[in-house]
A and B are shown apart, each in its own frame.
Chain A
Amino acid sequence: MKKSLLILLSLLFTFNINAATNGQKLFESNCSSCHGTKGQGGVGIPISLPSFIDSVSDNYLAKTIQYGRPGRVMPSFNALPSKDIQAIVTYMRSWTGNKGKVFSRKNIKGNAKAGKKLFDQHCVSCHNAGGTGGVGTGVTFSRPRNAAIIAPSLNNPGFLSSAEDHFIKETLVNGRAGTPMMSYKALGLSDKDINNLVRYIRSFEGGPYPYQGYDTESAIIKVDSPYNLEETLANVKDAIMGKNFKLIRIQELNKGLVKPGKENKKQIIVYFCNFNFLNKALAIDPRIGMFLPCRLTIVEQDGKVSILTTNPLKLAGIFNNHELSEACKEMHTIYTELLEEATL
């Protein structure tokens, strides 16, 4: 009997080790590029923070992986089999060695209207009105930010589908050590106040959510020019400088790919930048290098001159980042105006 128990225990131990190992591999191939090798954070939030990982349920982690956070960088991994998701969760638990919390799935009763008043008073400064969350990606080690950790978006459908009422309540009661989230109990809020806050946060469910992809947009913006290539280039330069952008470089498209002197003079790239705009965009999402630097391409073919550029709205869809999509809308407008001005 004792022997059987030992065998059973060793089998269970082996199973857990294997699950964690497999989970580590899955974590590294799916999560670490954003969250860091040990969940310390980067483009994604720091998920190995003990005050976070030890206060969430396995259910919350699994659903977060499954649903992601639409428009808030974290993609949905709904194509991953549930056993793989569970293996990732098991691996994440190995960071502190503690089991996940188990929360009642029962809804908390309260007064959402009273909760809104408290939310506006205590939560809006970090989580923004309507619980839309802080600006930017998880944390950054590369450039200065106002907040070490970006406040999560509480109105996000992915969050609301993953978080139990009692988990939200416990977060409000205890706060989160190592982040700006403080204990609301320590702030003097009563149990009733906290229940009202939970009810208000839950009331975001089913409400309007601004993020939409742009999958139907064309991949390029293109305008035909009534001028010859030299005139079009001069117009493009004037239009760029007229919009307070700095010209960085004008070169043939195949420069650097062919021997000097062999470049195609009928395919010209104009690179330009507004560093203020760029700095803001990088703070929103540091992965935007594929947009950089801003660029217009002038092409002459069969006597016809065209100006082309990538469509920022199309590229925006890649990042699952609502804030970035808004910046891309602005960039789309700028590109469109530049093309119009250069071909007037």
Chain B
Amino acid sequence: MNKLSGSIKLVVFLLTLSFSGLSYSQDLIMARVKQNFPETMVSLQSAIKKTGYTISRVQRIDIGLTKSGFKTDKYRVVFFGKADEVEKLTSKHPDITPYLPLKISIFAENNDTIIVSNNPQHLKNYFKKIPSHYFTNWEKDVKKIFFQTGIIE
């Protein structure tokens, strides 16, 4: 019991060290992670997998910009989803396809890293034929991913 409570304290302590807060307005979920970009990217991908999703692709926005002659720090977009969910949902409701797979943007800001996503609940009113639990679960999962990304492993 003591060991467990010690672990919880450690996690809380590490969380305090690394995560400077998750903020979400109604439609935007955003967090500043007090880790540099490479570490946060590893944490983010690990959190996505732990939450039961598969990463389908990482789009390197910064590489395209740099190749075109523009200066930028690290900027990526991570796409993720659940194969069966995507298949089931898009076959019945093809209008949702532009919003799938889900995605989270991640970019460097000095020694911190910013992660941003739209709040999936935001879409609920526009896809009324889709059962609302999809949007509720996505919101819950995205927030969980953001929260876990702040934990140093």
CA distance A306 to B95 in the complex (A): 10
Given contacts A144-B71, A290-B118, contact A318 B86 (CB under 8 A): no
CA distance A31 to B31 in the complex (A): 10
CB distance B98 to A295 under 8 Å?
yes
Given contacts A257-B82, A297-B98, A306-B94, contact A290 B116 (CB under 8 A): yes
From B104, B108, B122, residue with most partner A Cβ within 10 Å: B122
Smallest Cβ distance from A245 to chain B, in angstroms?
12
Quick one: CB contact mask for A238-251 with B, threshold 8 Å, 1 for yes? 00000000001001
CB distance B107 to A289 under 8 Å?
yes
Given contacts A142-B75, A253-B100, contact A30 B94 (CB under 8 A): no
CB distance B105 to A29 under 8 Å?
no
Smallest Cβ distance from B70 to chain A, in angstroms?
5
Smallest Cβ distance from B22 to chain A, in angstroms?
7
Q: Determine the residue in chain A with the shortest Cβ distance to B127.
A: A219
Smallest Cβ distance from B24 to chain A, in angstroms?
9
Indicate whether A153 reaches chain B with its CB closer than 8 angstroms. no
Question: Interface of chain A, helix or strand or loop or mixed?
Answer: mixed
CA distance A301 to B92 in the complex (A): 10
CB distance A289 to B77 under 8 Å?
yes
The residues of B that contact A43 with a CB separation of less than 8 Å are 114
Interface residues on A, range: 35 or more
Q: Determine the residue in chain A with the shortest Cβ distance to B31.
A: A33
Q: Determine the residue in chain B with the shortest Cβ distance to A280.
A: B70
CB distance A293 to B107 under 8 Å?
no
Stretch at the interface among A99-107, A198-206, A307-315: A307-315
From A141, A256, A317, A319, residue with most partner B Cβ within 10 Å: A256
Smallest Cβ distance from A229 to chain B, in angstroms?
13
CB distance A275 to B83 under 8 Å?
no
CA distance A255 to B101 in the complex (A): 10
Quick one: CB contact mask for A114-141 with B, threshold 8 Å, 1 for yes? 0000000000000000000000000011
Indicate whether A228 reaches chain B with its CB closer than 8 angstroms. no
CB distance A299 to B32 under 8 Å?
no
CB distance B72 to A276 under 8 Å?
no
CB distance A315 to B118 under 8 Å?
yes
CA distance A288 to B106 in the complex (A): 10
The 9 closest A-B pairs by CB, nearest first: A289-B105, A256-B56, A219-B126, A28-B21, A275-B68, A142-B73, A257-B83, A318-B27, A141-B110
Mind listing 20 A-B residue pairs with CB under 8 Å?
A: A28-B20, A29-B22, A32-B21, A33-B22, A33-B114, A34-B30, A42-B109, A42-B114, A141-B73, A143-B72, A220-B95, A220-B98, A254-B83, A255-B57, A275-B64, A278-B65, A287-B105, A292-B61, A293-B77, A297-B98
Q: Which residues of A contact B (CB under 8 A)?
A: 27-34, 36-37, 42-43, 75, 140-144, 218-220, 222, 248, 251, 253-258, 264, 267, 271, 273, 275-276, 278-279, 282, 286-290, 292-293, 295, 297, 299, 301, 306, 308-310, 314-315, 317-320
Q: Which residues of B contact A (CB under 8 A)?
A: 20-23, 25, 27-28, 30-32, 34, 54-57, 59, 61, 64-65, 67-68, 70-73, 75, 77, 79, 81-83, 86-87, 90-91, 94-95, 97-101, 103-110, 112, 114, 116-118, 122-123, 126-127
Please name 15 further chain A to chain B contacts, defined as beta carbons within 8 Å, in addition to the given A143-B71, A301-B94, A308-B97, sorted by A numbering: A29-B23, A31-B21, A33-B30, A36-B112, A142-B73, A254-B81, A256-B57, A267-B90, A273-B64, A279-B72, A289-B103, A290-B118, A299-B97, A317-B27, A318-B122
